[in-house]
Structure 1
Amino acid sequence: MAGRGRGSDQDEDAAIGVSERSLFAMPLPAALPLPSPLVPDPGNPPLQADVSAPAPVAEVGRIVRVRRQIGRISLPRLRHSVATAAGLELDRGVAFLLVPVCLAIGAIGYFSLAAEPDFAKPVAVVVLTGLCAFVSRSWPKTHLCFMFALLCTLGLLAGKVETWRAGTQMLGSEISTQVTGRVVSLDQMETGRIRLTIDVTSTARPKLRYAPERVRLSARKIPAEITAGSLVTGYAKLLPPTGPVRPDSYDFSFDSYFAGIGGSGFFLGNPKLVAGNDNDMPLSARIASGIENAREAIADHIRGSVGGAEGEIAAALIVGVRAGIPDEINEAMRRTGIYHVISISGLHMALVAGTIMMLMRSAFALFPDFSARRPVKKYAAAAALVSIAAYLVISGIVVAAERSFIMLAVMLLAVLFDRAALTMRNLAISAIAVIAVSPHEVVGPSFQMSFAATSALVGAYAGWSDHRAAKTKPPPPRRSLPDFLTRKFLSAMGGLAMTSIIAGSATALFAIWHFQRVSPLSLFANLAIMPIVSLVVMPFAVLSALAMPFGADGPFLYVMGKGLTVMIAMSGWISERSPVDAVGLISQQSVLLVAIALVIATMATTWLRLAALPFALAGLLTVSDTRAPDVLISEDARLVALPIGGGELAVSRARPNEFTVDNWKRALTSETIVMPEVFSKGDGQFEIADAAELPSGAPFYCTAGICLAKHPSGAIIAHVEDRKDAWMACGFADLIVINDATAHDPCHNPLVLVITKRQLARKGSAAVFFDRQSATTPATISFAVDGSYRPWHTQRKFSREARGLPPYRKPEKPVASPAQ
Structure 2
Amino acid sequence: MAKEPAAGGAAWRAVSDAIALELERGGAFLLTPVFLSVGVVAYFTLRYEPSWPSLLAMTGLVIGTVWLARHRHALQLCLLALLLCLAGIWLSKLETWRLGTKIIGAEISVRLTGRVVEIEEMASGRKRLTIDVVSTERPKLRYQPERVRLSARKISPDIGPGSDVTGLVRLLPPAGPIRPGSYDTSFSSYFSGIGASGFFLSGPELSSPTVAPITARFGAAIERARQSIAGRIRQSIGGPEGEIAAALIVGVRAGIPEEINEAMRKTGIYHIISISGLHMALVAGTVMGLMRALFALFPDFSSRRPVRKYAALTALFAIIAYLLISGMVVAAVRSFIMLAVMLIAILFDRSALTMRNLAISAIIVILVTPHEVVGPSFQMSFAATAALVGAYAAWSDYRARRVSAGVPAKRSLASALLHRFAVMMIGLAATSIVAGIATTLYAAWHFQRVAPLSLLANLAVMPVVSIIVMPFAVFASIAMPFGLDGPFLYVMGQGLTVMIHLSERIADLSPIDAVGLISAASVLLASIALVIATMATTWLRWVSAPFAVASLMMLIEERTPDILISEDARLLAVTMENGEIAVNRPRPNAFTMDNWRRALDAQGVQAPERRKQKDRNDLALKMKDGGEESTAGAGFRCADRVCVTHHPSGAQIVQASDTDTARAFCDTASLIVIEDPTARNPCRNAGLAVITRRQLAQKGSAAVFLPAGFSSNGAASTRPKPEIHFSIEGDYRPWHTQRRFSREARGMPPYQRKVATPKPANSPEGGLTRESE
Give the TM-score normalised by structure 1. 0.90
- The answer to whether residue 591 in structure 2 is matched with residue 659 in structure 1 is yes
Is 1:330 paired with 2:261? yes
Deviation at 1:342, TM superposition (A): 0.1
Q: Distance in 1 between matches of 2:696 and 2:601?
A: 24
Match of 2:2 in 1: 2
User: Residue 445 of structure 2 is aligned with which of 513, 525, 533?
Assistant: 513
Distance 1:665 1:583 in 2: 10
Where 1:218 maps in the other structure, the secondary structure is strand
SS in 2 for 1:182: strand
1:649-700 Cα distance to aligned partner (Å, 9 max, x none): 2111111111000000000111322111101135999933211232111121
Distance, in Å, in 2 between the alignment partners of 1:270 and 1:649 is: 41
Partner Cα separation in structure 2 for residue 293 and residue 529 of structure 1: 32
Q: Give the C-alpha shift of residue 414 in structure 1.
A: 0.4
Q: Which runs of 5+ in 2 are unaligned?
A: 712-718, 766-773
Are residue 709 (structure 1) and residue 645 (structure 2) matched?
A: yes
CA gap 1:735/1:125 in 2 versus in 1, 3 angstroms: same
- Residue 674 of structure 2: which of 726, 731, 738 is its match? 738
Instruction: Determine which of 475, 482, 496 is the counterpart of 2:428.
Output: 496
Q: What is the alpha-carbon distance in structure 1 between the residues aligned to residue 757 and residue 618 of structure 2?
A: 43
Q: Counterpart of 2:763? A: 818
Aligned equivalent of 2:200, options 267, 274, 286: 267
- For residues 452 and 214 of structure 1, what CA distance do their matches in structure 2 show? 33
- Name which of 26, 34, 41 aligns with 1:93: 26
* Correspondence 1:389 to 2:320: yes
Cα 1:684–1:228 change in 2 (3 A) is closer
- CA distances 1:12-58 after superposition (whole Å, capped 9, x unpaired): xxxxxxxxxxxxxxxxxxxxxxxxxxxxxxxx8xxxxxxxxxxxxxx
AA matched with 1:706: V
**Contact 2:114–2:135 (Cα < 8 Å) also in 1:** yes
1:632 matched residue in structure 2: 564
Alignment of 1:161-176 (within 5 A): 161-176=94-109
2:771 matched residue in structure 1: none
User: Residue deviations 1:180-204, cap 9 Å, x none?
Assistant: 1111100010001100011111112
The equivalences for 1:559-570 within 5 A come to: 559-570=491-502
Out of 740, 744, 754, the residue aligned to residue 801 of structure 1 is 744
CA shift for structure 1 position 771:
1.2
1:571 equivalent in structure 2: 503
CA contact (8 A) 1:679 1:686 kept: no
Q: How many residues align?
A: 751
* Pairwise CA distance, 1:468: 2.5
Q: Which residue of 2 aligns with 1:366?
A: 297
On the 8 A contact 1:713/1:772 being kept in 2, the answer is no
- Secondary structure (helix, strand or coil) at the match of 1:442 reads helix
User: What secondary structure does 2:386 align onto?
Assistant: helix
Amino acid at match of 2:108: I
Partner of residue 220 from structure 2, selected from 247, 267, 289: 289
Tell whether the 8 Å contact from 2:614 to 2:639 is kept in structure 1 after alignment. Answer: no
Structure 2 residue 660 is the aligned partner of structure 1 residue 724:
yes
Say if 1:123 and 1:157, in contact at 8 Å, map to a contact too.
no
Report the Cα offset of residue 224 of structure 1.
Answer: 1.0
Aligned partners of 2:562, 2:200: CA distance in 1, in Å? 38
1:361 Cα deviation from its structure 2 partner = 0.3
Whole-Å separation in 1 of the counterparts to 2:298 and 2:70: 56
C-alpha displacement of 1:542: 0.4
For residue 194 of structure 1, the aligned residue among 127, 132, 136 is: 127
**Which residue is 1:695 aligned to?**
631
CA distance in 2, matches of 1:232, 1:100: 44
Q: Which amino acid aligns with 1:741?
A: P
Higher alpha-carbon deviation: 478-487 or 528-537 = 478-487
Q: Is residue 689 of structure 2 the alignment partner of residue 747 of structure 1?
A: no
- Equivalent-residue separation in structure 1 for 2:318 and 2:17 (angstroms): 45
Distance 1:73 1:568 in 2: 64
1:99 Cα deviation after fit: 0.5
CA deviation after TM superposition for structure 1 residue 812, in Å: 4.9
**Given the superposition, is the C-alpha separation of residues 678 and 540 from structure 1 closer, same or farther in structure 2, using an over 3 Å criterion?**
same
Report the Cα distance in structure 2 between the residues aligned to 1:320 and 1:736, rounded to whole angstroms. 46
Could you say what secondary structure the match of 2:623 adopts? helix
Question: Is the 8 Å Cα contact of residues 181 and 727 (structure 2) preserved in structure 1?
Answer: yes
**Residue type at the aligned position of 1:791:** P
Gaps of 5+ in 1: 4-43, 45-71
Partner residue of 1:298 out of 229, 234, 245: 229
Q: Distance in 2 between matches of 1:696 and 1:819?
A: 61
For residue 365 of structure 2, the aligned residue among 405, 428, 434 is 434
SS at match of 1:497: helix
Q: Is the 8 A contact 1:107 1:156 kept in 2?
A: yes
Structure 1: distance between partners of 2:614 and 2:542: 70
Is the Cα contact below 8 Å between 2:617 and 2:664 reproduced in 1?
no
Cα displacement string for residues 119-170 of structure 1 (whole angstroms, at most 9, x for unaligned residues): 2222332333233323433322222122211111111100000000110001
Asked whether the 8 Å contact 2:616–2:642 carries over to 1, the reply is no
Structure 1's consecutive aligned runs of 4 or more residues displaced over 6 angstroms after TM superposition are 683-686
Q: Note if contact 1:232-1:274 (Cα within 8 Å) is conserved in structure 2.
A: yes
Residue 270 of structure 1 and its aligned partner are, at CA, apart by 2.9
Q: Which residue of 1 aligns with 2:534?
A: 602
Out of 80, 83, 108, the position equivalent to 1:147 is: 80
Q: Give the distance between the partners of 2:380 and 2:45, measured in 1 at CA.
A: 19
Which residue matches 1:156? 89
C-alpha separation between the residues in 2 aligned to 1:263 and 1:682? 39
Counterpart in 1 of 2:338? 407
1:674 paired residue number: 606
Bigger radius of gyration: 1
**CA distance in 1: counterparts of 2:445 and 2:614, whole angstroms:** 47
Q: Decide whether the 8 Å contact of 2:614 with 2:640 is kept in 1.
A: no
Opposite residue 230 of structure 2, the aligned amino acid is A
Quick one: distance in 2 between partners of 1:391 and 1:488?
Answer: 30
2:237 maps to 1:342: no
Q: Does 1:254 align with 2:187?
A: yes
Determine the C-alpha separation between the residues in 2 that align with 1:730 and 1:640: 19
Question: Residues 773-809 of structure 1: CA distance to partner in whole angstroms, max 9, x if unpaired?
Answer: 1431111100000210000000011000000000000
Residue aligning to 2:310: 379
Deviation sequence 1:365-384 (CA, Å, 0-9, x none): 00000000000000000000
Instruction: Give 1:118 shift.
Output: 2.1
Contact 2:32–2:84 (CA under 8 A) maintained in structure 1: yes
| Cα separation, partners in 2 of 1:812 and 1:221, compared to 1, 3 Å | closer
Give the structure 2 partner of residue 552 of structure 1.
484
Please report how far the alpha carbon of residue 261 of structure 1 lies from its aligned counterpart in structure 2 after TM superposition: 0.4
Identity of aligned pairs, percent? 59
1:525 aligns with 2:457: yes
Please tell me whether residue 455 in structure 1 is matched to residue 386 in structure 2: yes
Specify the code of the residue in structure 2 equivalent to 1:380: A
Partner secondary structure for residue 781 of structure 1: strand
Secondary structure of the 2:754 match is: coil
Contact kept? 1:679, 1:685, Cα under 8 Å: no
Moved more, 184-193 or 122-131: 122-131
1:317 paired residue among 236, 244, 248: 248
In 1, the alpha carbon distance for the partners of 2:121 and 2:91 equals: 36
The equivalent residue for 1:50 is: none
Contact 1:632 1:766 in 2 (8 A): yes
Matched, 1:756 2:688: no
Contact persistence 1:593–1:619 (CA under 8 A)? yes
Q: Is the 8 A contact 2:110 2:170 kept in 1?
A: yes
Letter in 2 for 1:193: R
Instruction: Report the CA distance between 1:647 and its aligned residue.
Output: 3.0
Rounded Cα–Cα distance in structure 1 between residues aligned with 2:469 and 2:689: 56
Partner Cα separation in structure 2 for residue 98 and residue 589 of structure 1 = 21
Deviates more, 1:291-300 or 1:644-653: 644-653
Aligned position for 2:769: none
Secondary structure at the aligned position of 1:687 is classed as helix
